[in-house]
Structure 1
């Protein structure tokens, strides 16, 4: 019942947001100065809309707001109550998110020869030894990547990945057609249009897609990362799994192919990054490793 109520509330918010966006787009379309309106004078409705927008902006200007001590205390109290409310909802949000957990195991046939995949398919560890493995078409041969055996093209899916003790890693999702051979940059997660990821490198978190980096204002070294994919909503969200704190969300809109979990544990960096990356969801017992 809690899950249904939460989903219903989210759907309502999404519908309201869509309606609001449509209204804003209609208002913006009536504003003067667009490419089609450069050679004509704004009509009465354009001027009225512009005046309304300017009036709203002036009323929202923080510098024009005057707060006395009573109002300041009320706002402070309201803020504290909102934080308490958000904190109280964390267990519910976590329970709802974890209800989308999907069991996956890593596919050793896609793993770079310097990655050791556990027999259960739930972890990947870097080794400095180049393993003599078949050069399969689906195997990454330059980037230290590995993909999940299972893919999906519907529903919602959630995974938690343990990155405790690591200084470098990449986590994300990818289409099966991600390039896997040679030094091309598209082989890296998030560098091409086929994949989305968040990475930790040199103490900084960055979200990647299409080769575009998004620096994240995060400094804490997280131990467990959540990856939430919604195929119907066309979104990929990365979370700090313990507190369900959002790190970054990609709003794709519509996925064009099957999605796989993908990860890169990185080099060991003189034993400072030797720990494995571990998928916390229990692996399927039928994984053929």
Structure 2
């Protein structure tokens, strides 16, 4: 019943939005006709100085509607933001419990052709910061490989770039500007700036790990807390430590109500929706979702296999889909 009510409400909103769009198009058509029939001075404000009262009112109404739809005019206090995140998690849990096909839909994001259709306006809103070590791939690919030039010197990256393991020896590696020198992090070579992307990471046998997504601008040098995943505004992550799961972003922890040691974690990010979701991959159980809004940079997969944790955390952290694709649905 809640689902039907939500769908009905969304349908109503879509109808109202369509009606507003039609009104705007009609107003713009009238204004265009007025411009064609009138000699317009170079001053841009003369556009709104047309003597007919009807056209002036139409211009004011268009500007008012555009201002109302400006994302920067939307303000959410902390309580409302937390409530929206709670509703998002509840909806994901409902969908997973009622729709067996959700697993196939999420798995399809691993395929060589992600399902994504975006118009010109979406693409102009999404920006990415170029870097010589960032490979910007097409929106129909979710394959990633770890970039060894970003890895902390105590991490061993596999030749295929699909796993990272901690060793208690500082390797003599070049001090690259992009290398993490304090936190045990490594990020993907590829960066993504549009589309929907999904990865699964194998954490079997591990007692400490962090994984998530990050902007390339995450701090990498020194002891600042922002170098850790989720501690700054540049990254989002889920951490497992001492049997507890915690979601992090902006230095704010969210304790998760899970105690089972999961073997495989899914990470789903979506442009331009600004959604970051972590799941238990076997049963597609949502762990936590972040509503990030419009991403300001490209995104990279980020991993931290953790230290030895009293000798119990030697196994590597593995990207399950780093070197293969699944077929389209």
On whether the aligned pair clears a TM of 0.5, the verdict is yes
For residue 97 of structure 1, what is the aligned residue in structure 2? 106
Q: Secondary structure at the match of 1:97?
A: helix
Q: TM-score, normalised on structure 1? A: 0.69
Name the CA distance, whole Å, in 1 between partners of 2:232 and 2:320: 27
Give 1:197-212 correspondences, 5 Å limit.
197-212=237-252
Q: TM-score, normalised on structure 2? A: 0.61
Residues 238-264 of structure 1: CA distance to partner in whole angstroms, max 9, x if unpaired? 000000000000001110000000010
Residues 25-56 of structure 1: CA distance to partner in whole angstroms, max 9, x if unpaired? xxxxxxxxxxxxxxxxxxxxxxxxxxxxxxxx
Structure 1 residue ranges (4+ consecutive) displaced by more than 2 angstroms after TM superposition: 12-15, 17-20, 83-90, 282-285
Structure 1 residues 158 and 14: alpha-carbon distance in aligned structure 2, compared to 1, 3 A threshold: farther
Q: Secondary structure at the match of 1:159?
A: strand
| From 170, 174, 178, the counterpart of 1:138 | 178
For residue 238 of structure 1, what is the aligned residue in structure 2? 278
Q: CA deviation at 1:190?
A: 0.2
Unaligned runs of 5+ in 2: 17-92, 111-141
For residue 269 of structure 1, what is the aligned residue in structure 2? 309
Name the CA distance, whole Å, in 2 between partners of 1:183 and 1:166: 25
For residue 195 of structure 1, what is the aligned residue in structure 2? 235
Structure 1 residues 127 and 279: alpha-carbon distance in aligned structure 2, compared to 1, 3 A threshold: same
Note the aligned Cα RMSD (angstroms): 2.7
For residue 10 of structure 2, what is the aligned residue in structure 1? 16
Q: CA deviation at 1:89?
A: 2.9
Q: CA deviation at 1:232?
A: 1.6
Number of residues of Structure 1 aligned to a counterpart in Structure 2: 214
Structure 1 residues 85 and 141: alpha-carbon distance in aligned structure 2, compared to 1, 3 A threshold: closer
Unaligned runs of 5+ in 1: 1-8, 23-82
Q: CA deviation at 1:210?
A: 0.3
For residue 296 of structure 2, what is the aligned residue in structure 1? 256
Name the CA distance, whole Å, in 2 between partners of 1:199 and 1:96: 25
